[in-house]
């Protein structure tokens, strides 16, 4: 049986332990910034403006501002991924700019694994007043579409 003088101490320790574990048992803040991922060596700026560089895999969603969740108009998305032979090429690079609703839709070929890395699509997102976000999408071979918002931290 726990004696009454010990109980408050256990409650305090438990509460502090929860605070020290990132994300554990605490709800994520509304519209927390998206998790960044490595840039990798194959990024190239100034890819052509286009919404499609292949077919079979689509990423769709909106670019949003952390905290408020407001859609960001004029956000620039830069995409790059490998071709069907697992090689990076110019044909699988694209730049898009979001409209007033912050929405984007990008279609490309189903990415292939390479160099012992799982299949992935890179994206860099930039918007005025916000920190650039560099991240990656990891579709399963059966994923025809992934719907996700990209949330940018404010400057």
Nearer to Fe ion, 40 or 141 (CB): 40
* Smallest distance from Fe ion to CB 111, Å: 8
Per CB under 5 A, the segment of 10-18, 35-43, 63-71, 125-133 that binds Fe ion is 35-43
Closest CA to 137 of 108, 100, 103, 102: 108
Closest CA to 105 of 136, 79, 143: 79
Residue 113 contacts Fe ion per CB under 5 A? no
* Smallest distance from Fe ion to CB 5, Å: 58
Distances 52 to 38, 79, 80, 91 between C-alpha atoms, Å: 23, 10, 11, 10
**Do β-strands 56-65 and 133-137 pair in parallel, antiparallel, or remain unpaired?**
unpaired
* Smallest distance from Fe ion to CB 80, Å: 8
Nearer to Fe ion, 50 or 117 (CB): 117
Nearer to Fe ion, 36 or 40 (CB): 40
Total interface residues for Fe ion by CB under 5 A: 1
Q: Residues of 67-90 as b/e, b for ≥16 C-beta within 10 angstroms?
A: eeeebbeebbbbbbbbbeeeebee
- Residue 141 CA to residue 132 CA, distance in Å, equals 28
* Smallest distance from Fe ion to CB 32, Å: 25
Residue 40 contacts Fe ion per CB under 5 A? yes
Nearer to Fe ion, 65 or 80 (CB): 80
Give contact residues for Fe ion (rule: CB under 5 A): 40
């Amino acid at each position: 049986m726990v004696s009454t003088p010990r109980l408050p101490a256990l409650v305090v320790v438990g509460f502090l332990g929860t605070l020290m574990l990132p994300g554990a048992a605490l709800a994520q803040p509304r519209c927390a910034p998206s998790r960044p991922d490595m840039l990798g060596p194959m990024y190239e700026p100034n890819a052509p403006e286009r919404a499609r560089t292949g077919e079979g895999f689509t990423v769709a969603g909106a670019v949003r501002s952390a905290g408020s969740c407001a859609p960001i108009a004029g956000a620039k998305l830069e995409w790059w991924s490998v071709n069907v032979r697992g090689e990076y090429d110019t044909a699988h690079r694209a730049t898009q700019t979001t409209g007033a609703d912050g929405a984007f839709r990008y279609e490309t070929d189903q990415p292939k694994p390479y160099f012992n890395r799982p299949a992935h699509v890179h994206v860099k997102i930039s918007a005025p007043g916000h920190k650039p976000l560099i991240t990656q999408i990891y579709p399963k071979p059966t994923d025809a579409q992934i719907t996700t918002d990209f949330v940018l931290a404010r400057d």
